[in-house]
Chain A
Amino acid sequence: MRNPLSLWRFFLRNKRKVIPVVGILALAILGVVVTDSLLASARQTAYATYGSYQKLILVAPRATRDQDLSNPLQDSLTRLSDVQTKANQLNTPAGVASLKSGLDGLAASLNSISQPQSGLDSLLATAQKMPGTTLVQRDAYSNLDINLFAGDAQFDLYGLDRPGMISLLNLYGDHLLAGRLPSANANEVAISEEIARSRKVWIGGKVGNTIDELDRLPDVFTVVGIIRGPTRLGLIPLEYMTQHYLFERRYQGLVVVPQPGHETQVHDALVRAIGKQPFRIFDYPYIKAKIDSLIENLDTINRFLILLVTVVLSLVVGLLNNLFFRQRMNEFGLLAGIGYNRWRLVLRVATESLAVTVISWIIGVALGVAVLTWFNNVFMLPHGLLMNVFDWNVLLVHTLPIPVMVFLFGMGTVAWQLMRLDPISIIERRD
């Protein structure tokens, strides 16, 4: 027998006191690990979902009231009404001439329906000449609705011609895992496997707003290709999109790929080229800031919850420590009385508290990792959601305040009493 007052002997002989404290702390740490990891997962999945922006800049028409009013369909309807009025005046030679000019105007306006946003062609030409770009493509982009666990999000589908699709795959190092690229004039789509899993589709599956009303596709599209690679992509044919009568030209823009290290230069050049034209730029800093601002509120709530849990646990465990300390008053009174050094007694209690908090922390983190691993395999991966089970920022930085605060608070109150303990008051107690 080395030391009858050893830590392990105390724990083994006082299981009923130690296990509830360890259990409470471990469960709290488990809760923090799980909620924090899910939140981190939402952010991580969102970054991955919009990961394509890390290498490209999307130039898109700005949705303005003027643009809506200049809708070519609206313009054509007005002209048709004008033709009808003139047809009613056909009883004069001047009326025939007037009808002819009205019909010419209507024909001209119908042409503009299939034309992109005015200024896009010149912007395309300017961008193609910009130094620092590797690829500039016309893009009839659209979106698919996906679930990011923290809420729904719109996944970008790039509407490109075939060379554009191949260029984009090469840019990200992605490849076709199954199927083929969409045909030019077909309502077909190729998507990354994670997105396919998220939408529970594979080759032959259907997407579109008749299936999910939040899909911004003008028709039902068939999945013909599954993409695998480091970046999540969705590809639809430029030709089919621009010729579809329901395609809104505000969704026709440009994909501009800067050379590595030239992102800012190309961004600034695009800003200058756009000038006051109704176009806007989507690049990775913008997208990331949007994601961060969306998750910031959840982060704030989560931080508040962690703080609340830490404070409540500190109080609960501190009170339990005090209760247990009072139950052991005779022990400490005796040890102080027979000459045990006071600081060594404080050190002993500190070691006991520290061991309890460290053991609880290890159990809590281990349980957290086990639960997250199970949840990741059962739910996250099948739904195309990302989760880093071993996120050390979550496992260490976010959970450590709990044991540290619990230890400091619990230990502080007990140490204070121990230093002021008068052994004679214990020795003379007649209870």
Chain B
Amino acid sequence: MLRARDLVLDYRSGSSVVHAVDAVSMEVGRDSFVGLIGPSGSGKSSLMYLLSGLKRPTRGHVTFDNHEYSELSTAELMRLRRERYGFVFQQHFLINYLTATENVVVGAVERNGQSAAYAQELLGRVGLGDKLRKRPYELSIGERQRVAVARALVHRPAIVFADEPTASLDQSTGHEVINLLAEYRQQEGGSVVVVTHDSEMLTGADHVVQMRDGRLPPSG
């Protein structure tokens, strides 16, 4: 479904060039749970940005369902992210003046009564059925992150990209969040790509990719 070939992402730092991602090739199949793991600065987040179309690579190709990113305009790439991908970041990025339900609906492609009902159903599934009308500042950090997960799932994306979704959470809350993503994969049939530095969060992953210095190991 999602295929990356020889991806390179260079950053220029003064007169030198830093290879954040260096000749990485990988695939994310349907209904799969892929973990990207590695120490800080290993390039795992940069790789996720390239795979999700948040960044354009310096070289290399990314293809989703036979759509080559380099052939898509910025607007088309945005539409792809909006309609087919879901995102969970390290911070929840909830909009402060919206309720939990409204924050989830922000992720919906079609915003109507149906999407609002599904948002409430998702919030129920993540254990926030009694906090639908709460604002982010009335929720705990873990609850906010669960709302962020519901927001990423509300439009039933083909792939959910989660960048360090548990980094600001305690261990048990972190597991809850990962389990929610794993459940989505099982119930809705979407794929999940999780970037983390904590290998314990990837016990349910089909495939774990270890990154170091922007590269995958030869066997990866």
Binding site for B on A (CB under 8 A): 1-5, 9-10, 13-14, 330-331, 333-335, 337-342, 423-424, 427-430
Contact = CB atoms under 8 A, between A and B. Distances in A.
A124 to B, nearest CB: 82
Contact of B54 (A2, A4, A424): A424
A4 B101 CA distance: 9
B91 to A, nearest CB: 8
Contacts of A430: 90-91
A342 B78 CA distance: 9
B55 interface: yes
A108 B144 CA distance: 111
B142 to A, nearest CB: 18
Interface stretch (B25-33, B80-88, B196-204, B206-214): B80-88
A5 B45 CA distance: 29
B64 interface: no
A172 B85 CA distance: 81
Contacts of B49: 424
B105 A4 contact: yes
Contact of B107 (A338, A423, A428): A338
Query: What bracket does the count of chain B residues touching chain A fall in?
Result: 20 to 34
B172 to A, nearest CB: 23
A333 B93 contact: yes
Given A4-B103, A424-B55, A427-B163, 16 more contacts: A2-B112, A4-B95, A4-B105, A9-B97, A9-B98, A14-B97, A330-B93, A331-B96, A337-B54, A338-B82, A338-B87, A339-B80, A339-B81, A341-B82, A423-B54, A430-B90
Contacts of B83: 339
B47 to A, nearest CB: 13
Contacts, number: 73
B97 A10 contact: yes
Interface of B: 45, 49, 54-55, 75, 78-83, 85-87, 89-91, 93, 95-98, 101-103, 105-107, 111-113, 116, 163
B197 to A, nearest CB: 14
A7 to B, nearest CB: 13
Contact of B82 (A13, A330, A334, A339): A339
B219 to A, nearest CB: 29
Given A339-B79, A339-B80, A340-B78, A4 B98 contact: yes
A1 B111 contact: yes
Contacts of A1: 101-102, 105, 111, 113, 116
A148 to B, nearest CB: 53
B81 A338 contact: yes
Nearest to A336: B78
Contacts of B85: 338-339
B82 A340 contact: yes
Contacts of A331: 93, 95-96
Given A1-B105, A1-B113, A1-B116, A341 B93 contact: no
B16 to A, nearest CB: 21
Nearest to B86: A338
Nearest to B98: A4
A13 B102 CA distance: 12
A-B complex: 7 closest residue pairs judged by Cβ atoms: A339-B82, A339-B81, A4-B102, A13-B97, A334-B93, A1-B116, A339-B78
Contacts of A335: 106
Contacts of A330: 91, 93
Contact of A5 (B96, B106, B116): B106
Given A13-B98, A339-B80, A341-B78, A4 B93 contact: no
B85 to A, nearest CB: 7
Nearest to B87: A338
Contacts of A2: 111-112
25 contacts: A1-B111, A1-B113, A2-B111, A4-B111, A9-B97, A9-B98, A9-B102, A13-B98, A330-B93, A331-B93, A331-B95, A334-B95, A337-B81, A338-B81, A338-B86, A339-B82, A339-B85, A424-B54, A427-B54, A427-B89, A427-B90, A427-B91, A427-B163, A428-B45, A429-B91
Contacts of B80: 339
A341 B106 contact: no
B116 to A, nearest CB: 5
Contacts of A339: 78-83, 85
A334 B163 CA distance: 13
Contact of A341 (B75, B87, B95, B103): B75
